[in-house]
Structure 1
């Protein structure tokens, strides 16, 4: 074999040209030196990088891949420079021309990097727009469901809008966030537009928390958008609950007076409460006076609770509560009369006794006492409750009531005249045995040697119902008597105790 060509004399320009040609990533330095295996390695490395980098996405090329490729190019450039120091290039013949070609070809990787950076930036913009689009879809879907079921989706979408506005302020997606926030507010608060005021309270309250997380520049007037709507909703929902007898009105009005004390809806709270009291007062004279009384007493409690934290509205609410309380107490009379007429004598007695305790005087109070007595009598003798008692007193027939028992006795009577009194216990009296009461000629209260506690009444003719009720912890059961009083007679009622078999009296 003929000997290989002798090495060329050293040429620094040629070495630099070969290194630059390899630094382009195209392996041209090796190709012009006829080192094809090394050139193929350069081509393979560049192909691998292109495979990893393309198509451009938002994440870009992994830093490790770029570092390895850059190191490879530097090594290829250094190795090519050493190889080109004593090896002639196949083309071009002159080193300066090759050096110029290497400098020009460096534009290829530089231009490719710039193009890739633009492509990656566009990919980032598209990825951010995709995130924005997904958040928009979440808001649209959430708007078709109740707020309680879609709250999490609203929060997720808000988190996306905030991230775009705060961490990607110059992106095209961030530029669309203010417009999206208008849609967001309109969707979350849509119940207000449908006049579903109670349903609107929770989402509008949530919208007032949004400015805590979003930059102020992204919201503008939206930061105050929920305020007036929430105030209207709290008043409307509270008014509906107040009219319907619900308890939530205290919460809604309380929130309104606490959060928006100077608003127009807040100024309507006291008139609304006064109107509710007025309607309940009118209802006392209607067909269900007891329900109206219960309503007034409930209003007294609820308005008083609201007044405790009502600020400048407290005085008006306190007056309305006092009015409801007074009207509720006064309405107890109508309620007791209604219960009496319905035959609910136990309730009528308790109601009238409470009415007497709550009122200071007046004709109604006197008659309420009579009705309470008659109701108690009617619980033992139902016929006594057929008519409401009057405040009449006195009569022409003398009825003496004596106590021949060891117990203090309260005597209740009703009929043309109603009343009650108490007789002291008979000091030397004892309970009669059951057998003795069955003997012919048995007459209690007939011992002339005893000074029986007694009281003489003057009653009109007619049927009078008596009930004797023992006191002092006695276990004796009440006794009753129905007396048909006629003119020209003198009557005696005797209260005595009978000892039955066992321990009962």
Structure 2
């Protein structure tokens, strides 16, 4: 068997060549392993290519956040390592590509040029791609914010206020932090659309619904850069003033709106004293009061609650401006309360009439109609037991000392209140008879009748009435005691001229 001769030895290493080593190191820093290509060290070159390809896979497509820091650090360490290895290998190497002396002089300038062109060019290209990715991301964010505005449009502002504030923060961030971007340049137009969306209720003349949104729009200069708002600054002032006026004046008197109406009108007065709507408040409310007063003449009870709420709101307004309106409102309410009680009486709603007129007399004791209100309350109470007492509306007349005398005695336990109505109306109270008891009707002998007030006259508490002639309906209301229950007893009386009358009130029981 013939032995294979060993391969010839390679060329001996040349003298140290720092310039060549630096060139190889710089070529390896180009990200393409060109130093290894120059030395024909293909495995190492392939490793550089693989690392660069891996970097491209991670980096592309460009992300707005850029390449992860860990990847960049790892790749930088790798480049420094292959540069150092290239320097070591190129220090004494004699690559065939550099054998001609003229080429050796060019290798370092070429390496420097490639180092500038390849990494710098790649960095520039990636930066441009990343900028475009950022632009696209900003446009996507802007479009998403626009979509939220569209979704919120038409809904109650308070229910979507959080959404609107979120959108506003997005516009502010893009418009200030990325003012030069395509998205940033669109922000002023988007804010104009935002204003249109939020103020839509005002555009539709839904003034009460418009107030929260317009207050929000008026506060925009405190949340968004004024340069982005442009002509929107102050644009919501007059619409807000009008909405406060319209909502405050149209909802006054509505159930549950007393405070809201007052707040809106006060806000208008304080915030926009020079607005043309401010001086319109008082005459508009006065006209509203006149309309409600006219309605009382048709249905006295129906509008009372509304006018009461109207007065509550007027009471919230500055007294120096609305004192006269407040006085007139009180007058209308007083008239309405009397009219309502009278209307109840005429409609035979005696219980309600009695309550209404009693309250009126207590609330307005100095009213010229207080006496009549008390009399109507008395007649209504009697009419609950004797309907004929409600056939005629009592006047305010009371006993004046002329007429026929009626002496009324109390022969029974418990204080008695006697109500009467006829030519005159009134009530009187007769104290309890301390020594009197109930008459046991079932224990009397057959044929014998109860004989009240048969004892000495001085025994019985008495009261005297002087009544004009005529027919009267009366109601005896006896107070309960420890031995007898309270009771009501209606009766009739006819008073004629030339006579005097006695009336004995007593209590009967079955035992």
Question: TM-score scaled by structure 1?
Answer: 0.87
1:72–1:295 Cα change, 3 Å: closer
Contact 1:257 1:266 in 2 (8 A): no
Match of 2:119 in 1: 109
Q: How far apart, in 1, do the equivalents of 2:222 and 2:229 lie?
A: 11
Match of 1:459 in 2: 468
Q: Which moved more, 1:273-282 or 1:230-239?
A: 273-282
Q: How far apart, in 2, do the equivalents of 1:144 and 1:373 lie?
A: 58
SS at 1:8 equivalent = coil
Contact 2:406 2:501 in 1 (8 A): yes
SS at 2:505 equivalent = strand
Q: How far apart, in 2, do the equivalents of 1:369 and 1:235 lie?
A: 42
1:233–1:6 Cα change, 3 Å: same
Contact 1:445 1:494 in 2 (8 A): yes
Alignment counterpart, residue 273 of structure 1, candidates 277, 285, 301: 285
SS at 1:285 equivalent = helix
Match of 2:4 in 1: none
Q: How far apart, in 1, do the equivalents of 2:432 and 2:56 lie?
A: 118
Report deviation, 1:391: 5.0
1:361–1:28 Cα change, 3 Å: closer
1:218 and 2:228 matched: yes
Q: How far apart, in 1, do the equivalents of 2:194 and 2:333 lie?
A: 49
1:217–1:500 Cα change, 3 Å: farther
Identify unmatched segments of 5+ residues in structure 2.
1-6
1:449–1:351 Cα change, 3 Å: closer
Match of 1:310 in 2: none
Match of 1:164 in 2: 174
Alignment counterpart, residue 370 of structure 2, candidates 359, 365, 370: 365
Root-mean-square deviation (CA, aligned residues, Å) is 3.0
1:22–1:495 Cα change, 3 Å: same
Q: How far apart, in 2, do the equivalents of 1:363 and 1:18 lie?
A: 118
Q: Which moved more, 1:382-391 or 1:402-411?
A: 402-411
Deviations 1:417-469 (A, max 9, x none): 333333444565443222477853433234465465242534324x3212223
SS at 2:31 equivalent = coil
1:5–1:303 Cα change, 3 Å: same
Match of 1:415 in 2: 422
Alignment of 1:38-57 (within 5 A): 38-57=44-63
SS at 1:290 equivalent = coil
Q: How far apart, in 2, do the equivalents of 1:13 and 1:248 lie?
A: 91
1:192–1:83 Cα change, 3 Å: same
Deviations 1:203-261 (A, max 9, x none): 22333444333223222342423332222222212222126x33315313314423525
Alignment of 1:86-485 (within 5 A): 86-92=92-98, 93-94=100-101, 95-106=104-115, 107-143=117-153, 145-242=155-252, 245-258=254-267, 260-262=271-273, 263-286=275-298, 288-304=299-315, 306-307=316-317, 313-359=318-364, 364-390=369-395, 399-426=406-433, 429-435=436-442, 439-447=447-455, 450=458, 452=460, 453-461=462-470, 463-470=471-478, 475-485=485-495
Contact 2:251 2:261 in 1 (8 A): no
Alignment of 1:23-38 (within 5 A): 23-38=29-44
Match of 2:74 in 1: 68
Contact 1:411 1:466 in 2 (8 A): yes
1:3 and 2:9 matched: yes
Contact 2:218 2:237 in 1 (8 A): yes
Q: Which moved more, 1:184-193 or 1:100-109?
A: 100-109
Contact 1:330 1:355 in 2 (8 A): no
SS at 1:493 equivalent = strand
Contact 1:389 1:417 in 2 (8 A): yes
Q: How far apart, in 2, do the equivalents of 1:75 and 1:399 lie?
A: 132
Report deviation, 1:30: 1.9
Report deviation, 1:134: 1.5
Q: Which moved more, 1:294-303 or 1:129-138?
A: 294-303
Deviations 1:90-130 (A, max 9, x none): 22423102223223322222222222222222221222122
Q: How far apart, in 2, do the equivalents of 1:16 and 1:451 lie?
A: 142
Report deviation, 1:40: 1.6
Q: Which moved more, 1:7-16 or 1:443-452?
A: 443-452
Q: How far apart, in 1, do the equivalents of 2:88 and 2:196 lie?
A: 71
Q: How far apart, in 2, do the equivalents of 1:63 and 1:153 lie?
A: 35
Q: How far apart, in 1, do the equivalents of 2:88 and 2:148 lie?
A: 62
Q: How far apart, in 2, do the equivalents of 1:86 and 1:363 lie?
A: 128
Report deviation, 1:138: 1.7
1:381–1:36 Cα change, 3 Å: same
Q: Which moved more, 1:388-397 or 1:188-197?
A: 388-397
Q: How far apart, in 1, do the equivalents of 2:65 and 2:288 lie?
A: 66
Contact 2:382 2:474 in 1 (8 A): yes
Q: How far apart, in 2, do the equivalents of 1:419 and 1:73 lie?
A: 116
Q: How far apart, in 1, do the equivalents of 2:474 and 2:215 lie?
A: 66
SS at 1:9 equivalent = coil
Q: How far apart, in 1, do the equivalents of 2:53 and 2:457 lie?
A: 138
Question: TM-score scaled by structure 2?
Answer: 0.86
Q: Which moved more, 1:348-357 or 1:433-442?
A: 433-442
SS at 2:475 equivalent = strand
Query: How many residues are aligned here?
Result: 492
SS at 1:291 equivalent = coil
Contact 2:248 2:264 in 1 (8 A): no
